[in-house]
Amino acid sequence: MPKFEECLERLEKIVEELEKGEVPLEKSLTLFEEGMKLSAACRSELEQAEGKVEILLKQNGKLQAEPFDPQADTSSPRK
């Protein structure tokens, strides 16, 4: 599977080509389908990366890694 950056770069090229409006309908559909697959692959990779992110907290003068929780309420400060 291509890397995230490669997927994103290809996805940008597909969008540019489709936005020009000079592509025949059949090719547009093929490009759109490829773009949707690339978009899903990018989203999946981002979700996996999100689960690996760690937040460093300073507790008692020491840095401690804590798993990143995207569902956590960010409006209240951490203890």
Residue 42 tokens read as 């990018």
- Of all helices (H) and strands (E), which one includes residue 65? strand 62-67
Q: Which of helix, strand or coil describes residue 55?
A: strand
In a domain, 72, yes or no: no
Q: How many independent structural domains does the chain possess?
A: 1
Q: What's this model's pTM, rounded to 2 decimal places?
A: 0.60
Residue 47 domain-assigned (yes or no): yes
Question: What are 47-61's pLDDT values in tens digits?
Answer: 887 766 655 555 555
Whether 79 maps to a domain, the answer reads: no
pLDDT for 38 equals 94
26: in domain: yes
CATH number of the CATH domain containing 50: 1.10.287
Q: Confidence class of residue 71 from pLDDT cuts 50, 70 and 90?
A: low
Structural domain harbouring 55: 4-67
C-alpha distances in angstroms, 65 versus 36, 43, 55, 60, 62? 35, 25, 6, 13, 10
77 part of a folded domain: no
Whether 76 maps to a domain, the answer reads no
Asked if pLDDT for residue 79 goes beyond 70, the answer is: no
Q: Is 68 left (phi over 0), alpha (psi -120 to 50) or beta?
A: beta
Higher pLDDT, 2 or 76: 2
At 20 the pLDDT is: 93
Indicate whether 9 belongs to any domain. yes
Q: Round to whole Å and give the CA distance between 69 and 17.
A: 37
